[in-house]
Chain A
Amino acid sequence: MEKKDIIQSFKDSLFTGLIALALFGPIVGLRTASKGEGLFITPQWGVVFLLVGLCILGRFLINLNSARKTEITFFSKFTSKFSAVTEDKAKHFAITAILFAVVFPFLPFTDRYFMDVAIMILTYIMLGWGLNIVVGLAGLLDLGYVAFYAVGAYSYALIATTFGWSFWICLPLAGLFAAFFGILLGFPVLRLRGDYLAIVTLGFGEIIRIILINWYEVTNGPDGITGIPRPSFFGLPFKRSPDEGEISFHLFFNLEYSTMHRIIFLYYLILVLALITNYFTLKIRKLPVGRAWEALREDEIACKSLGVNPTNTKLTAFAIGAMFGGFAGSFFATRQAFISPESFTFIESAIIVAIVVLGGMGSQTGVVLASIFLIGITEMFRDLEQYRMIAFGGAMVLIMVFKPKGILANRKPTILMHGDKK
């Protein structure tokens, strides 16, 4: 590395520092505090200088790294090794990951907290896989995916609380409702592409949330729906003292009562739902309709000239993606036993899109890694309370710097030559 480069990257770092100063100065530097009567501004320049200094240092290190053109930092070594493993031995990796997921609840260090985080990560993995059909395969950028999650959750909650039907009946119904809304969104956006599509889907997500808030008679508005039935183990409820005529799970299997039973059951439920989503996606990619999705992402005019019907192709992508969002929503509703419009804000859509994009568009394993990374990191810093979103942002920046095309950027072909299977 030459001296000129060092000076160049140093200058660049100073410039970064200037931007950081402009941002952090007013936001962090000027703190309003209420003392006695009224608000007073207390400056905290020390913190600002610390943050600006960190930005300059970080930028300088990144510059040094890219100037050398060889990936030598620990992080990039780690990730490149990682993607090499998953590309070569994707199957082994998948099997190991699934095995780990299956035994996870019974590992010695697994406690209630770990289980909750794992359930959350799996929910996002499922949502990511669902959205991957729309964004990754069909190439339709959907920023309102949370709408289908909400439709699924509310359908489940309303059906279950009104008719008292079991989880296994409500789940497919909720999926169907969500798919119906997927088609509803699909029709007006058929002609749109790229940015325009993104804006309309964003609006759709907000419309659904605002309807949920204002349609008081049905959705109970901002108060949400309470008392959503918990799932039962094929008819055996998870209760300490079951109602008359019922046998609860722990009595049937002759176990000591524990709240963990229900958590573990929920964990396996979402694991199975997520794996179904994945299995379905992998299968459909090899069918004409799945291939048509990918072709549509690549080139719409070529698709038309080859006789692919773009209307049907887009609608099926929206419907099927929405359906899985709806399943995940049902699961969310039954797990929480309470839902309100607050759970379905734009930030949820943004997180799901981030998982798909950062995972590497269209990569199923990438979604898993990105979910674990983004949700896991945000959870690890839960003690920092409101600052944990900084960790979330930081995680995104790290991926964008070191893996600009996503953690796993390669699309795996659906057809391999004989003898190509490793």
Chain B
Amino acid sequence: MLKITNVETFYGKIQALRGVDLDVNDGEIVSLIGSNGAGKSTLLMTISGVNKAKRGNIVFNGKNIENQAPHKIVDMGICQVPEGRRIFSRLTVEENLRLGAHANEKGKYFENDIKEVYDLFPVLSDRKTQRGGTLSGGEQQMLAIGRALMSKPKVLLLDEPSLGIAPKLVNQIFVSIKNINKEKNVTIFLVEQNAKKALELADRAYVLVNGKVTIKGLGQELLKNKDIQVAYLEGGSKN
């Protein structure tokens, strides 16, 4: 569904991605783990078209998207939940959601879509008219996910949904992600520092080190991998 081959991305002269190969199949949950500065967020931004790949191909459903504008990519069915949630803090919850549906707000499915998001995250329904900035971190993350779902994506890119959120809410959000995948048939590509959670959830997973994929395999397999345990789970992980 989404196939990334040999992608290289630069910030000025600094190379952040050094030839990433990765693919995501229809209906899967794929996790990408790695430490700070490995290039995880850069990869997501490159898929979304916010950063441009200097070399390599990104193919989505048979079409090359590496040179497309971000809004075109969203229209094709890839939507990103950016790192740090990036809620429109002075806009209300419902206004935030409406922005997610930006292009198809006048569409006939809009009312139904917004109801589905409220069913998925009932707390958002209670806070409809509250400003985005007044929500707690976990609620903001739900809003960010809900907002992205409003664009009816085929693939949802999630950037560190556990960042800065209370552990109890992290569990709830990961359950929701699983539900979105299973019930709404949305393919998930998840980027996380919380390696244990991400691997438990994933069908397949990749490890990114210094802009390159070093290990790949099934989520359950990687959980048992000695190198990963040392680097991301017991030795390195404070989670």
Taking a contact as CB atoms under 8 Å apart, the answer to whether A294 and B90 are in contact is yes
Taking a contact as CB atoms under 8 Å apart, the answer to whether A291 and B82 are in contact is no
Q: Does B10 sit at the interface, judged by CB under 8 A?
A: no
- Mask: chain A, 294-313; 1 = CB below 8 Å from B; 0 = not: 11001101111111110000
Cβ–Cβ < 8 Å partners of A416 in chain B: 129
A68 and B142 alpha carbons, distance in the complex (Å)? 42
Taking a contact as CB atoms under 8 Å apart, the answer to whether A306 and B91 are in contact is no
Taking a contact as CB atoms under 8 Å apart, the answer to whether A295 and B129 are in contact is no
Taking a contact as CB atoms under 8 Å apart, the answer to whether B131 and A413 are in contact is yes
Smallest distance from the beta carbon of A415 to chain B beta carbons, Å?
A: 5
Partner of B95, one of A301, A307, A413: A413
Interface size class of A (residues with CB under 8 A): 20 to 34
Cβ–Cβ < 8 Å partners of A413 in chain B: 91-92, 95, 129, 131
Q: Does B128 sit at the interface, judged by CB under 8 A?
A: yes
Cβ–Cβ < 8 Å partners of A305 in chain B: 48, 50, 70, 74, 79-82, 86, 148
Smallest distance from the beta carbon of A47 to chain B beta carbons, Å?
A: 46
A288 and B81 alpha carbons, distance in the complex (Å)? 20
Partner of B74, one of A292, A299, A307, A415: A307
Q: Does A420 sit at the interface, judged by CB under 8 A?
A: yes
Taking a contact as CB atoms under 8 Å apart, the answer to whether A308 and B80 are in contact is no
- Mask: chain B, 10-50; 1 = CB below 8 Å from A; 0 = not: 00000000000000000000000000000000000000111
A298-B88, A413-B92 given; A306·B79 CB < 8 A: yes
Taking a contact as CB atoms under 8 Å apart, the answer to whether B100 and A306 are in contact is yes
Interface size class of B (residues with CB under 8 A): 35 or more
A415 and B128 alpha carbons, distance in the complex (Å)? 9
Smallest distance from the beta carbon of B75 to chain A beta carbons, Å?
A: 6
Cβ–Cβ < 8 Å partners of B48 in chain A: 304-305
Taking a contact as CB atoms under 8 Å apart, the answer to whether B105 and A288 are in contact is yes
Most-contacted residue by chain B among A292, A298, A305, A414 (CB, 10 A) = A305
Cβ–Cβ < 8 Å partners of B92 in chain A: 413-415
Cβ–Cβ < 8 Å partners of B88 in chain A: 294-295, 298-299, 302
Smallest distance from the beta carbon of A90 to chain B beta carbons, Å?
A: 16
Smallest distance from the beta carbon of B125 to chain A beta carbons, Å?
A: 10
Taking a contact as CB atoms under 8 Å apart, the answer to whether B129 and A298 are in contact is no
Cβ–Cβ < 8 Å partners of B74 in chain A: 305-307
Smallest distance from the beta carbon of B191 to chain A beta carbons, Å?
A: 13
B residues engaging A (CB < 8 A)?
Answer: 48-50, 69-71, 73-75, 79-82, 86-92, 94-95, 98-100, 102-103, 105-106, 128-129, 131, 147-148, 151
Task: Give the 7 A-B residue pairs with the shortest CB-CB distance, closest first.
Answer: A307-B74, A302-B86, A298-B88, A305-B80, A309-B71, A304-B70, A413-B92
